[in-house]
Structure 1
Amino acid sequence: MTTLSRPGHATGFWFVALAFASLMAFGTLPTPLWPLYQARDHFGPTQVTIAFAVMVAGAAISFGALGHLSDRFGRRRIIAPALVVGIGAALVLAAWPTLPGLIVGRVLTGIAVGLMASTATAYLTDLHRAAHPDRAGSGVPMLTSTVANLGGLALGPLLAGILAQWLPAPLVTSYVLLAGVMAGLLVLVLSTPETVDRLGGAGAARPSRFALRPGAARLFGAAAAVGFFAFALMGFFSSLGAIVVRGQLGITSTFVVGLAPFTAFAASAAAQILLGKAPQRRLLVAGSGLFPVGLAVTAAALYHPTLGWFLTGAALAGAGAGLLFKAAATQTVLAADPASRAGVLAVFFIIAYAGMGLPSIAFSIVIRYAALAPTMVGFGAVLALGTIAAVVTTIRRIR
């Protein structure tokens, strides 16, 4: 019986990874479309950032209120609704292409992401352990999770940029396509074995929403801070990268506009694949080195506007952020009590997504009153210093 169940868990592992990646791609899908919305509706960088940030707010609310539920009700029972909400958000964005519809659709997107991210990360760990009980402690689930997360975030802007460049109805086509992809993956996820089933045990004790292993509180706090700063960089390229490429570099092609966030997220995923098996300390040190260098190159590209330098900075900074995020997420899983893994990951993602939204909003407000290039220098310095401090604290806590 055990032998028969393993192929289901192994196959389901990849179904969940693809579903995770598709929903994350949907989260960044509008990135190269922001200038199109901006030109049509005549709003500036602050409105663009707010439209982006409402997704972050929706995700934070979803993480906080719902992200732990898979520890109690089961992983599949949470991922399936996440995909349903994502499909609904895509249809809203396609059918209601005005600012109110954009905000409603992005809030729904955030709710879907909040349901998906922590649950999928925990589900992948469960499925891999069930399929390969002889590989306890394998880094494959966390590597797959982080690559699905950041790889999906990378593919979203590239896909939307390509579709908007060469197909009609740019504010509709990409949403309809992703809705179809998520619908197909919903069917596959529903066929995946459940790994947590608590519905039948009425008298069973409910797992705590947030429980850490003894002595792991400071490790979790430091890891969450690393996640905050890593996602702050991703938030910048997701919300304002397209505006910078179009406005500062004078490039109007939606395909090229989508390259900046794609480059950052793709470099993040690639760095994790290349260095995924490296010790945690090495990931943190390498990430904290690449991160400020990339930010410095990005800032320099604004003083001497060049797409090549801007993309190089995005790649270096993205690679550093990816390594930092992987190490932080891994340490969070290790710090969590096994019965509360999804709940602990939900709190981690709340903090990380706050990093994706809040600094970008502050940045968009500051550039209304100050020049973009010096603001980028200050933004980069704050992120770099905060990241280094969080990394040093995390390294001291790693056993």
Structure 2
Amino acid sequence: MSRPAAALCLAVSLFLVTYAVNLQAPLYDAYAAASGRGPAAVTIAFAAYVAGLMPTLLCLGGLSDRIGRRIPLAMALLLGAAATALLVVSPSWTTLVVARMLLGVGTGLATTAGTAFMVELMGADRSRSAALAVTSATSLGFGGGALATGMSLSLTGPSFFPASFAILFVLAPLLAVCMICAPKGAQAQGGALVRLPVFPRGTWIFGATLALAWSATGMIIAVVPLELAMHGLFGWTGPVIFLAIFVGFLCQPVAKRLSDKASLALGLALIPSGFGLILFGSWMQAIAPVLIGTALSSAASYGFVFLAALSEVSDRAGQDRSRATAGLFVYAYAGFSLPVIGSGVLAETMGLVPAMAVFLGLLIVGSIALAGFLTARSTAPVEQPT
């Protein structure tokens, strides 16, 4: 297999791994109802994904440095298919928690190995293009799974085995074989199998901003669908989740032309603005502000902030790209999960809209603080990771 063909297969593989992550999102409410659970349980199941992903990032972020890039990517594809199969065999809240944890492990393996592998296939001189390829593939995947399930359910009616699941079952084994047959990347390194992530100096601002951006995305994926369902707008769940990520994909070519500092600043302006519109639409029970706000949040999270953060960390990581990518995603997924859990607990006592209002207040404070730091000093100079 040629390197360009391998890079294409890698992009499709990253798409499919992340496609599996939100594939079941339009069915969250159905899984919870089948087990007699409420909003807090739904957010806990959603965040179980991070319970699988975080240990993978922390302990196995450099696994592909040790055993090569191909095996972790093949494992991630098969884990995504296995997790989804569990939900078909036994659709329940408990199974959803287990499946989400497996999906987290798969994503951790794929994102750390995939970023480094893409740079190796495309060449170190094209690292920013490689980062764009990775962010584009994963952005489409994260949003595409939910949209595919939403469309399947709208066409065939309620089902715990929509056609979108079948697509994953067919493609995952085929792509796993393609990954095994891909050219080798960098020479595998010696040393311990468990390799902790690294955090290159001067990159905390990128990690913190990505955490803030992805906290809004986590709320859109996990909490906003519950609010939509309460108002009879369940059919909009798939499109909202897709929009939450797809607009970011469309913005990435624009972000590539901006400096990383400018991308971060623009993202910090869009994050609270977008979620403010979502809150307004939820309060007014109007779908238009929700869609517009989702689009703005997406532009920030998966467009300007994601590309800038991944590009900067990759450039500053030296030979530790996979471990540095793991470090970046530690930031990102902490932001992605913790506010969702907190909002789910608040929603049990305050209601969904008040819980979302509290989150918006914290989002505004965080955006102002990070924007102030960016204004006060320029981005730290490139240094080698410690």
Q: One fold, TM greater than 0.5? A: yes
1:347 Cα deviation (Å)? 1.8
Tell me, yes or no, if structure 1 residue 97 matches structure 2 residue 91.
yes
Q: 1:53 aligns with which of 47, 50, 61?
A: 47
1:370 Cα deviation (Å)? 1.6
Q: 2:228 aligns with which of 245, 249, 253?
A: 245
Paired with 1:77 and 1:183, the residues of 2 have a C-alpha distance of: 13
Gaps of 5+ in 1: 1-6
Paired with 2:15 and 2:275, the residues of 1 have a C-alpha distance of: 26
Structure 1, residues 221-265: CA drift from partner, whole Å, max 9, x if none?
Answer: 221111211211111112122111111x32233xx2211111111
The answer to whether the 8 A contact 1:21-1:151 is kept is: yes
Tell me, yes or no, if structure 1 residue 270 matches structure 2 residue 253.
no
**Do the aligned partners of residues 252 and 228 (structure 1) sit closer, same or farther apart at CA in structure 2, a change above 3 Å counting?**
closer
1:376 Cα deviation (Å)? 1.9
Tell me, yes or no, if structure 1 residue 356 matches structure 2 residue 346.
no
State the match for 1:3 in structure 2. none
Paired with 2:250 and 2:181, the residues of 1 have a C-alpha distance of: 30
Paired with 2:21 and 2:177, the residues of 1 have a C-alpha distance of: 20
Q: 1:80 aligns with which of 74, 81, 96?
A: 74
**Do the aligned partners of residues 138 and 60 (structure 1) sit closer, same or farther apart at CA in structure 2, a change above 3 Å counting?**
closer
**Do the aligned partners of residues 306 and 222 (structure 1) sit closer, same or farther apart at CA in structure 2, a change above 3 Å counting?**
same
Matching residue's letter, 2:316:
A
> Aligned ranges for residues 54-69 of structure 1 at < 5 Å?
54-69=48-63
Give the TM-score normalised by the residue count of structure 2. Answer: 0.91
Q: 1:182 aligns with which of 172, 177, 196?
A: 172
Paired with 1:263 and 1:52, the residues of 2 have a C-alpha distance of: 18
State the match for 2:307 in structure 1. 326
Paired with 1:294 and 1:177, the residues of 2 have a C-alpha distance of: 32
The answer to whether the 8 A contact 2:209-2:268 is kept is: no
Paired with 1:209 and 1:286, the residues of 2 have a C-alpha distance of: 32
1:206 Cα deviation (Å)? 6.8
State the match for 1:195 in structure 2. 185
State the match for 2:132 in structure 1. 143
Structure 1, residues 10-59: CA drift from partner, whole Å, max 9, x if none?
Answer: 11111111111111111011111112223333211111111111111101
The answer to whether the 8 A contact 2:213-2:297 is kept is: no
Paired with 1:179 and 1:67, the residues of 2 have a C-alpha distance of: 26
Gaps of 5+ in 2: 382-386
SS in structure 2 of the partner of residue 29 of structure 1: coil
Paired with 1:96 and 1:375, the residues of 2 have a C-alpha distance of: 31
Q: Percent identity?
A: 26
The answer to whether the 8 A contact 2:32-2:92 is kept is: no
1:372 Cα deviation (Å)? 2.9
Matching residue's letter, 2:149:
A
Paired with 2:364 and 2:8, the residues of 1 have a C-alpha distance of: 35
Matching residue's letter, 2:150:
G
**Do the aligned partners of residues 209 and 196 (structure 1) sit closer, same or farther apart at CA in structure 2, a change above 3 Å counting?**
farther
Q: 1:383 aligns with which of 358, 363, 370?
A: 363
Q: 1:123 aligns with which of 117, 139, 145?
A: 117
**Do the aligned partners of residues 372 and 85 (structure 1) sit closer, same or farther apart at CA in structure 2, a change above 3 Å counting?**
closer
1:102 Cα deviation (Å)? 1.8
Paired with 2:109 and 2:371, the residues of 1 have a C-alpha distance of: 28
The answer to whether the 8 A contact 1:93-1:175 is kept is: no
Structure 1, residues 169-225: CA drift from partner, whole Å, max 9, x if none?
Answer: 6212333331222122112222211112327xxxx567974456xxx42x2222111
The answer to whether the 8 A contact 1:25-1:155 is kept is: yes
The answer to whether the 8 A contact 2:347-2:354 is kept is: no
**Do the aligned partners of residues 206 and 43 (structure 1) sit closer, same or farther apart at CA in structure 2, a change above 3 Å counting?**
closer
Paired with 1:274 and 1:190, the residues of 2 have a C-alpha distance of: 34
Q: CA RMSD in A?
A: 2.1
SS in structure 2 of the partner of residue 195 of structure 1: coil
Tell me, yes or no, if structure 1 residue 159 matches structure 2 residue 140.
no
Paired with 2:368 and 2:305, the residues of 1 have a C-alpha distance of: 10
State the match for 2:17 in structure 1. 23
SS in structure 2 of the partner of residue 373 of structure 1: helix
Q: How many residues align?
A: 376
